[in-house]
Every structure is written in structure tokens, then in C-alpha cells.
């Protein structure tokens, strides 16, 4: 039986093979290739078309200039993302990456035919778009991609962890440019904007698709944009007919994707700093605080909510959500600040006397150290009425015994702690 390696050797072009002897899978007329623009970049594996666009840092995309991201501090990102590899990174050193592929899944048969790569150079933002004139030139395109990846220490994508890097990693291995061990795309310092955006905006927006974020946050509105689900069909039509009009819209779509990532990174990185002086909507503050709690940073989460969790002040509770109050209470408890936690639970109970989470939080605080056992028992009875369960009944019985023991009506051996 012929080995898999031997079959791959016959199917894939060898690096020592003269590029003129490689028969393309699809024939595209030279005239139509020239109409796409860009330049053919020579590589050891043949030519790769690179369309380069240069923007001044003052160029605006929506309501933001591209250069505003370049001055953003990134010191909070390791804590926020749980990725220590982002430590000591500089905003200007990022490489923005977005692909257009032949399918919407990321199986072995899907490959990228257009790779948008953006980076800062001096006083400009440079966007390189690597376009696959013919599938036989994939190895050349991936070679150019590797050179660009090696020029920057940090990646920024939008859903790249789930899609873009999976597709590229598979193709780099299949084209034998990297081994599986060398294919470290997902192991590079990487900021996926989708995950941070979901935490900050999912309570305020109907969804966190890039198009929605562009309209609602970046004030950028696309005109006659190619829908994402039609991108593969456009490329296949180009391969069959050689009509560049089929992919011109896809190239523009990819260009806007990369530019939107730059301005979205400015928004997300700036808004996610755990600084209480930054004005945020209640849902936005709550989302950031919850993310910090998941990252085991309760003190930072509490700092985001500090403006309205102050024992000495009486904020306008009408503007705050119950979810934000509950988050503040949990953050204060985990930060070992029980009185602030109590304050938040009390305010939440004032708004909703039957709020289950607030009842549980106050029962825990009042019963710990026998601070106020009668009140804890009263709250436990209220919780049992709201959410009856065997556990709630056992909690009431335990507190009854503790109250009786504290009043001297039960012997010490009957004491059962909550």
C-alpha cells in the first residue's frame, strides 16, 4: 500500500521544483491578474500576490483614528485575558490578522485564499493582503505569511482562536512548512477581541458580530458589503471564470475587517482597564467586573464598581442594575471585605425583598461567627418560602439549633454549624 507520505510528495509541489513547471489547478488570464492590483512577491515556492495599502495614523475608520490604538497601555491585558504571555507587550508591536477562506468550517479541506495582515510602521499603518491567484500557489502565500508573523511578537484577531488560526495552522502543516510541533500559532501571545467584547457588550447589544459592533460602537457603516456566507462562492466563481469583479468586493470586505479590528482594539483595550474613573454604562461595568471575577481578580472587579459601592454615600440606585449590585457583593466577599459585601446585599434586598442571591449572601454573613443568628434564621425562613427545597429546610433547622444553643436552651453537643 502506498504510504501517506509518498502520496503527499506526489500531490504537493516540492520546494526544489521550478515554479514554471508547476501546472496550475485553475487557469486565470494574465490580464485579469493584473487588474487585481498589488505586486507578485517572489518566494522559494513561487509567486504570491500582495496588495499593500498604506494609511496615515490620522486616517479615521468610523469615528476613530487608526493611530489612537497605538498609544494604548496593555499592562492590564494579562490579568484580563488570563494569558501571561501578553505581559510587557506594546500596542504598536501587534499584528492584526484576518482571513477569507473557501469554507465557513475549519476542516482540512478549507484553505485561506486571502489573508489580511495589518501592522504599524513609523507614522503609518500598513495593510498587506495576500491573495491566492491560484490554489497551487498556497505554499508561496503561507511562506510570506510566516515572514510577517515573525516580524511581530503579538497577534490580534477577531474570533481567530476558533477559526482563523485553526485554518492557517492546518494548512501550514499540510503544506509541510511547519510540523505540528512547530505550528505554534495558537501558542503565540494573542488577543482575541471577540472574547473581551462579549464580556463588555453582550448585555447592551443584540449580538457581538463584527458588523453589529461596527454600527453600534465604531460608527462605521459598510455599503454594498459582501456577506460573509457568500465569500467562498465569490472566490470559486473567480477561479472558474477569471472575473476579478467576483473578488474585488471580498478584498474590500477583508480590508474593512482589519481596519475595524484596529479601532475595535482601541475601544476594547481602553474600556477594559479596571479604572473607576472611566465612565461606563451599568451593564458594561458589570460585564467587566464579572470577567475580572472569573480571572480571580476580585479586588480589580470591585474597583470597577467602586463608584457606587461606598458605605458612606447614597448613590442613585435607579441607574444601577441588580446584576451589578450582586457582582459587587460577590467581589467584595472574595476580596475579604465583608462589610462592603453586606452593603451591596442590603441595597439589593431593599429593591427586591425576595432576591434569592441576596438572601443567601446575607444569611452567610449573619451566621458566620454568630454575628446575628436570629436575623439569619428569619432570612433563611424567607428564602425557604421563596425557593422551597430540602436544602433550604435543613438550613432553617440548623439555624434554629444554633439560635437555641446561643440562648442556652440546647446542650453544646447539639450545635450544628451552617
pLDDT at residue 309, rounded to an integer: 54
pLDDT per residue over 67-85, tens digit each?
999 999 999 999 888 888 8
pLDDT at residue 12, rounded to an integer: 42
Which domains are assigned to the chain?
4-271 (3.30.420.10), 282-414 (1.25.40.10)
Contact 78, 92 (CB under 8 A): no
Residue 227 pLDDT > 50: yes
Measured distance CA(290)–CA(284) in Å, rounded: 10
Measured distance CA(346)–CA(340) in Å, rounded: 10
Residue 152 pLDDT > 90: yes
Residue 328 pLDDT > 80: yes
Where does the pLDDT of residue 286 fall: very low under 50, low under 70, confident under 90, or very high at 90 and above? Answer: confident
Higher pLDDT among residues 312 and 366, named by residue: 366
Rounded percentage of the chain residues whose pLDDT exceeds 70: 84
pLDDT at residue 136, rounded to an integer: 93
The predicted model gives 95-114 an average pLDDT of 89
Q: Out of 12-16, 145-149, 197-201, 247-251, which region has the weakest mean confidence (pLDDT)?
A: 12-16
Residue 221 pLDDT > 80: yes
Measured distance CA(262)–CA(65) in Å, rounded: 9
CA 189 to chain centre: 13
E strands, 17-111, are: 39-43, 46-56, 60-61, 64-65, 94-101
pTM equals 0.79
Where does the pLDDT of residue 320 fall: very low under 50, low under 70, confident under 90, or very high at 90 and above? Answer: low
The predicted model gives 119-134 an average pLDDT of 95
Residue 120 pLDDT > 60: yes
Where does the pLDDT of residue 37 fall: very low under 50, low under 70, confident under 90, or very high at 90 and above? Answer: confident
Contact 119, 96 (CB under 8 A): yes
Contact 46, 15 (CB under 8 A): no
3-state secondary structure of 76: coil
Query: Left, alpha or beta for 88 (phi > 0: left; psi -120 to 50: alpha)?
Result: left
The predicted model gives 270-299 an average pLDDT of 83
pLDDT per residue over 239-254, tens digit each?
999 899 999 999 999 9
pLDDT per residue over 156-207, tens digit each?
999 998 899 999 999 999 998 888 777 777 778 999 999 889 888 888 888 9
DSSP 371-392: SSHHHHHHHHHHHHHHS--HHH
Judged on CB neighbours under 10 Å (0-12, 13-18, 19+), 130 is buried
Q: Out of 28-37, 77-86, 279-288, which region has the weakest mean confidence (pLDDT)?
A: 28-37
pLDDT at residue 315, rounded to an integer: 45
The predicted model gives 13-38 an average pLDDT of 40
The predicted model gives 295-315 an average pLDDT of 68
pLDDT per residue over 354-365, tens digit each?
899 999 999 999
Amino acid at each position: 500500500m502506498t504510504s501517506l507520505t509518498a502520496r503527499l510528495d506526489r500531490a504537493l509541489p516540492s520546494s526544489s521544483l521550478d515554479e514554471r513547471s508547476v501546472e496550475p489547478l485553475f487557469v486565470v488570464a494574465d490580464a485579469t491578474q493584473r487588474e487585481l492590483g498589488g505586486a507578485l512577491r517572489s518566494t522559494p515556492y513561487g509567486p504570491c500576490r500582495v496588495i499593500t495599502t498604506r494609511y496615515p495614523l490620522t486616517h479615521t475608520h468610523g469615528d476613530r483614528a487608526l493611530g489612537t490604538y497605538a498609544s494604548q497601555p496593555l499592562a492590564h491585558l494579562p490579568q484580563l485575558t488570563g494569558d501571561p504571555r501578553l505581559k510587557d507587550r506594546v500596542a504598536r508591536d501587534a499584528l492584526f490578522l484576518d482571513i477569507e477562506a473557501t469554507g465557513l468550517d475549519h476542516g482540512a479541506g478549507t484553505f485561506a485564499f486571502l489573508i489580511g495582515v495589518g501592522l504599524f510602521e513609523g507614522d503609518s499603518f500598513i495593510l498587506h493582503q495576500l491573495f491566492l491567484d491560484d490554489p497551487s500557489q498556497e505554499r508561496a502565500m503561507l511562506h510570506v505569511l510566516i515572514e510577517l508573523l515573525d516580524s511581530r511578537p503579538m497577534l490580534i484577531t477577531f474570533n481567530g482562536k476558533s477559526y482563523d488560526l485553526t485554518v492557517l495552522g492546518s494548512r501550514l502543516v499540510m503544506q509541510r512548512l511547519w510540523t505540528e510541533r512547530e505550528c505554534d500559532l495558537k501558542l503565540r501571545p494573542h488577543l482575541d477581541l471577540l472574547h473581551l467584547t462579549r464580556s463588555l457588550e453582550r448585555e447592551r447589544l443584540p449580538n457581538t458580530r463584527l458588523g453589529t459592533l461596527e454600527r453600534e460602537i465604531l460608527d462605521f457603516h459598510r455599503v454594498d458589503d459582501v456577506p460573509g456566507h457568500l465569500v467562498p462562492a465569490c472566490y470559486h466563481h473567480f477561479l472558474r471564470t477569471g472575473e476579478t469583479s467576483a473578488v474585488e468586493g471580498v478584498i474590500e470586505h477583508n480590508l474593512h475587517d482589519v481596519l475595524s479590528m484596529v479601532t475595535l482594539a482601541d475601544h476594547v483595550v481602553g474600556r477594559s482597564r479596571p479604572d473607576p474613573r472611566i465612565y461606563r454604562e451599568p451593564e458594561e461595568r458589570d460585564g467587566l467586573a464579572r470577567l475580572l471575577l472569573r480571572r480571580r481578580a476580585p479586588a480589580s472587579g470591585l474597583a470597577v464598581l467602586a463608584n457606587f459601592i461606598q458605605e458612606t454615600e447614597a448613590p442613585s440606585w435607579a441607574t444601577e442594575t441588580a446584576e451589578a449590585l450582586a457582582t459587587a457583593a460577590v467581589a467584595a466577599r472574595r476580596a475579604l471585605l465583608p462589610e462592603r459585601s453586606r452593603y451591596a446585599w442590603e441595597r439589593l434586598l431593599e429593591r427586591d425583598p425576595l432576591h434569592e442571591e441576596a438572601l443567601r449572601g446575607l444569611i452567610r454573613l449573619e451566621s458566620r461567627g454568630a454575628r446575628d443568628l436570629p436575623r439569619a434564621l428569619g432570612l433563611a425562613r424567607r428564602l425557604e418560602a421563596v425557593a422551597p427545597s430540602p436544602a433550604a429546610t435543613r438550613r432553617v433547622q440548623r439555624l434554629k439549633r444554633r439560635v437555641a444553643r446561643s440562648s442556652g436552651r440546647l446542650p453544646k453537643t447539639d450545635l450544628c454549624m451552617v
